[in-house]
Structures are given as C-alpha cells and as structure tokens.
Amino acid sequence: MSNILIIKHGSLGDIAQISGVFRDIRETLKNDKIFILTTLPYAELLSNCPHIDGVLVDKRLPRWNIFYLLKLKRMIEKFNFSQVYDLQNSSRTTFYKKRLLKISNWSSTSTVLKKGEKKDDFDEYPVLERFKIQLDNSNIVTKYTLKPDFSWACRNVDQVVNKFLGNKFILIFPFSSPQLSHKQWPYYNELIGIIKSKHKKLEIVIAPSSSEIEKAKKINAISFLNNNSSLDIMELAGLIKKSSFVIANDTGPAHMAAHLGAKGLVLFGYHTTAKKVSIETDKFKVLTVNDLNNLTAEIVYSKIKSKLELITH
C-alpha cells in the first residue's frame, strides 16, 4: 500500500469538475491511501469526498516565507508519498516540484506535453480532456473523468426547503466575483419579471454568498439563507440538486449545477468558451453571446420557455 497525493487548491468550480478524476484515481488505486492538498475553504468539503482518505491544507503563503515552506515540506514528507497528481498545474505547484518536494513520480501538464507542444497550447484543450490525457499518461483508467458526478457533496436540505419553498423552484445565480464582473449578465430582474408573469406556480430563489447578501436585496427573488447566513458548499449543492431549473452566470455554482445533473442554462460572454471549461451537459445548456450587455431578457426567456412549461405541467 502506498500514499498518493493529489494537489488541487481550488476554485469551487474546479473542485466540482474533478469529481470524476477523484473516482478514477480511487478505483484504479484501490489499495492505496489517497490524500489531497487543498486550501482551507475546501477542506471540509473534500473531507466528505468518498474517494479521498485524507485532506492536507496549504495556506499558500508567499514563497519568500521560508518558515512556512519548511513547515509545509515537513508535513508532506511525513506521508512518504510515492506519487503526486498535480491537478492545479500552476507556477506554485511547479515550484513545489522543483524546489520543495523530492517526489520523482509527479504527474502534471509538463509530463504529458508532446514534443514541440507548449503548455499554453495544451491549455487550449477542454479542461476535462486535459485531465483525461494526464491520467491516461499515468496509467489511470479514466471511466469517469469526462463525466464528473458531484452528488457526493450534497447535504440534505429538504427540511429547510419544504418549510420555506414549494416543490418546484428556479434557482438563479446572478452574481460573479468582483474581479470577474464581465461574466455578470445585468438583466436578471427583467427575466424574473417575465417568468413570474408567465409561470405563477414557480418560485424564484437565489442563494447569495456572505459577500452577496446585501446585493441580493436588489434581486426580486427569495434569498435562501441558513439562520441569516449564506449556505456552505454542501448545503448549496443540496439546494441545487433540489431545484427544478438553474440559471447562472459562468461561476462556481454553475459548474456545480452542471456536475450535479441539474437542468439549466448558463450565460457566457466573450471571456472564454463553454467547451474549453467543460460545462455543458445533456441537461445543462449554454447560451453564448459576444456581449452580455446586449443579451435581452426576452431572448434568454425564449431559450428556457419550453423547459419551464414542462416543469409546471
């Protein structure tokens, strides 16, 4: 039996995406102990992942903080890892490989590049295909990598949902990170007005993060909170799973919805393509435009009208 280390610092969407990767590594290496090095916001979530045996936390302090790096090095070396699967593939994890940790079996983007291929070229592939190539190159059988299932992350929220909501509700994610405001579609209230006028049986819900609670007051929808606090990741996953339909910007919750098997629509602007980020599924569709400011509520409604009619009949 060996100890295996996966490195994935974040983000939320990335964690949801690699659920299939976790399972493929787990099922290929049945007799090994699998640990993940991640950041604090995802430690509790990943502690509940059935494919992971243990979680190590990396504070990702500046690299000039020698005392922290030595502490991190000692923590990792205690486990005598025989193999690393670097799923972060960042400059930081490259630094760990070259300068901090002496683990010879290290799977990363650089280990799978074809002759003459650059990392920037490889990074243009769809993200899940990149992970599949990386695992295939490490003799991991990839049955699930291209079809992530994030259902293990769900916490049952039936009691709260049944208390405050009806059986059928639309869950909307109208916000984005402040530094990614170009991903934010500006006409959610207009869309909500159309839906409420035409589908009176459907309730419309948002689940704001702690930094979004004040902004959520400007959205004409029910704010779903737990004791006046934002939901944790597992509660949010449970709420998404319970919803009838999801409408979202390209954010972490949208990736969660895609890999929870939710029905829904995600709105994309110029910032990237849905194919590259591997978000579209049979149930979770994509609407892409050059400029989200020019995408009207009427156009979005026309794309989801038939789906909402099916829900209410």
- Per residue in 183-207, pLDDT (tens digit) is 899 999 999 999 999 998 899 999 9
- The label of the residue with tokens 């998404």 reads 240
**Residues sharing a CB contact under 8 Å with residue 80, sequence separation 6 or more, in sequence order:** 3
Residues 168 and 273 in one domain: yes
pLDDT of 312: 80
Cβ atoms 140, 22 nearer than 8 A: no
Looking at residue 313, what is its pLDDT?
74
Does 118 lie in the same domain as 10? Answer: yes
Give the integer Cα–Cα distance in Å for 57 and 166. Answer: 39
How many residues can be counted in the chain? 313
93 and 233 inside one domain: no
Residue with the larger pLDDT of the pair 136 and 167: 136
Q: Which one is predicted more confidently, 162 or 213?
A: 213
179 and 260 part of one domain = yes
Q: Give yes or no: residues 140 and 160 share one domain.
A: no
Say which CATH number the domain at 304 has: 3.40.50.2000
Taking phi first (over 0 means left), then psi (-120 to 50 degrees means alpha), and beta for anything else, what does residue 141 get?
beta
| Residue 151 belongs to some domain of the structure | no
Residue type, 282: D
Ranking 105-119, 224-238, 284-298 by mean pLDDT, the lowest is: 105-119
How many domains does one find in the chain?
Answer: 2
Q: Bridge-partner residues for 84, per DSSP?
A: 5, 106
Q: Which residue has the tokens 């709105």?
A: 267
Residue 57 in domain: yes
The parent domain of residue 258 ranges over 156-312
Alpha-carbon distance of 2 to 53, in angstroms, equals 12
Residue 97: count of CB within 10 angstroms of its CB = 18
Domain final residue, candidates 144, 171, 196: 144
pLDDT of residue 167: 75
Q: Are residues 181 and 51 in the same domain?
A: no
Confidence of residue 162 (pLDDT cuts 50, 70, 90): confident
Rounded Cα–Cα distance for residues 212 and 199 (Å): 26
Q: What is the DSSP string of 192-260?
A: HHHHHHH-TT-EEEE---TTTHHHHTTSSSEE--BTTB---HHHHHHHHHH-SEEEEESSHHHHHHHHT
Beta-carbon contacts of 70 under 8 Å, excluding residues fewer than 6 positions away, are none
Mean of the per-residue pLDDT values for the chain?
A: 93
Q: Is residue 273 part of a domain?
A: yes
Pick from 144, 164, 195: which residue ends a domain?
A: 144
Quick check: is 22 in a domain? yes
Confidence of residue 135 (pLDDT cuts 50, 70, 90): very high
User: Does residue 149 lie in a domain region?
Assistant: no
Q: Based on the domain organization, do 128 and 161 belong to the same domain?
A: no
Confidence check: pLDDT of 180 > 80: no
Q: Is 20 a member of any domain?
A: yes
- Rounded to 5 degrees, φ, ψ at 266 are -115, 140
Residue 147: φ, ψ to 5°: -130, 70
Residue 80 pLDDT exceeds 90: yes
Question: 64: which residues sit within 8 A by CB, 6+ positions away?
Answer: none
In this structure, what is the dihedral angle of CA atoms 161, 280, 37, 49, given to the nearest 10 degrees?
Answer: 40
Mean pLDDT of 103-108: 94
Considering the domain architecture, whether residues 136 and 182 belong to the same structural domain is answered as no
Any idea what DSSP says for residue 283? S
Last residue of a domain, one of 144, 172, 196: 144
Domain identity same for 199 and 116: no
Assess if residue 74 is contained within a domain: yes
271 pLDDT above the threshold of 80: no
Same-domain status, 258 and 182: yes
Average pLDDT of the segment spanning 88-106: 94
Read off the pLDDT of residues 25-53 as tens digits, 9 standing for 90 and up: 999 999 999 999 999 999 999 999 999 99
DSSP letters spanning 81-120 = -SEEEESS--HHHHHIIIII---S-EESGGGTPPTT--HH
* Domain identity same for 161 and 308: yes
- pLDDT confidence of residue 4: 98
Query: In this structure, are 119 and 182 located in the same domain?
Result: no
150 in a structural domain: no
d(CA 230, CA 125): 35
